[in-house]
């Protein structure tokens, strides 16, 4: 069991090796699929409790700013695009481009928690705390859990940056693992945005 997962080693493969295989490490796919199941269960429970008292949830939703939600979505989608470009650059052996793309992706990623604070703090000041109603409890917890994922993603992208910057032969599998995780963070946000901001 212990020998099935090889430690991070140099996996600089020729371009032909990239076709017909799954991007990233299998353990990360285990995490992603599991994470989607867990979020899925949370979403189902949200829908259930929303169905129990739809009026309360709709009233809570009135306090959310859809525009900041749209900006958050655009920031994350664009960031994901640049992560994909960085992975593509790394695969093609174009380290400089990969680093440049990753820097833009990280800068956009850092913007996300800042936007969250801009969104949360005035609400908390106005007394819309998690204790206000079940909607706000779900809202802060789910977006908070997503924010934890974003911060973890930024840490992972930091390690990817170091790999691309310092490794003699960057580990492409590791770069892809980071990219795949970042795409999942993106996907989760799309679902959160639809459920909390848009659904009427």
Contact residues for other proteins, defined by CB under 8 A: 1-8, 25-28, 30-31, 34-35, 38, 41-42, 45, 49, 130-131, 134, 137, 141, 144-145, 148, 152
Q: Whose Cβ is closer to other proteins: residue 52's or residue 92's?
A: 52
Q: Whose Cβ is closer to other proteins: residue 3's or residue 16's?
A: 3
CB of 34 to other proteins, least distance (A): 7
CB of 44 to other proteins, least distance (A): 10
Q: Whose Cβ is closer to other proteins: residue 4's or residue 55's?
A: 4
Tokens of 87: 């992975």
CB of 57 to other proteins, least distance (A): 13
Other beta carbons less than 10 A from residue 45's beta carbon: 11
Nearest one of 81, 72, 36 to 196, comparing CA atoms: 72
Which DSSP category does 5 fall into? S
Nearest one of 18, 48, 16 to 173, comparing CA atoms: 18
- 119 contacts: CB under 8 Å, gap ≥ 6: 65, 68, 72
Tokens of 153: 């993603």
CB of 135 to other proteins, least distance (A): 11
Q: Whose Cβ is closer to other proteins: residue 100's or residue 116's?
A: 116
- 136 contacts: CB under 8 Å, gap ≥ 6: 60, 128, 129, 130
Q: Whose Cβ is closer to other proteins: residue 27's or residue 92's?
A: 27
Task: Measure CA 44 to chain center.
Answer: 20
Q: Whose Cβ is closer to other proteins: residue 40's or residue 122's?
A: 40
CB of 100 to other proteins, least distance (A): 27
Q: Do the Cβ atoms of 157 and 182 come closer than 8 Å?
A: yes
CB of 190 to other proteins, least distance (A): 19
Going 172 to 174 to 177 to 179, the CA torsion angle's sign is negative
Tokens of 79: 């960031």
């Amino acid at each position: 069991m212990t020998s099935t997962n090889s430690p991070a080693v140099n996996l600089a493969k020729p371009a032909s090796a990239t076709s017909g295989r799954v991007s990233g490490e299998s353990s990360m796919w285990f995490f992603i699929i599991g994470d989607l199941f867990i979020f899925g269960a949370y979403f189902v429970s949200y829908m259930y409790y929303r169905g129990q008292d739809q009026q309360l949830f709709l009233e809570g939703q009135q306090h959310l700013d859809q525009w900041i939600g749209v900006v958050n979505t655009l920031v994350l989608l664009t960031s994901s695009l640049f992560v994909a470009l960085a992975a593509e650059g790394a695969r093609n052996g174009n380290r400089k481009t990969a680093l440049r793309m990753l820097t833009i992706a990280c800068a956009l990623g850092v913007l996300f928690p800042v936007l969250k604070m801009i969104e949360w703090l005035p609400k908390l000041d106005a007394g819309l705390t998690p204790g206000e109603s079940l909607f706000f409890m779900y809202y802060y917890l789910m977006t908070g859990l997503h924010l934890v994922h974003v911060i973890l993603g930024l840490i992972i992208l930091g390690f990817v940056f170091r790999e691309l910057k310092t490794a003699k032969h960057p580990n492409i599998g590791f770069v892809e693992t980071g990219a795949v995780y970042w795409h999942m963070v993106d996907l989760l946000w799309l679902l959160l945005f639809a459920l909390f901001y848009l659904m009427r």
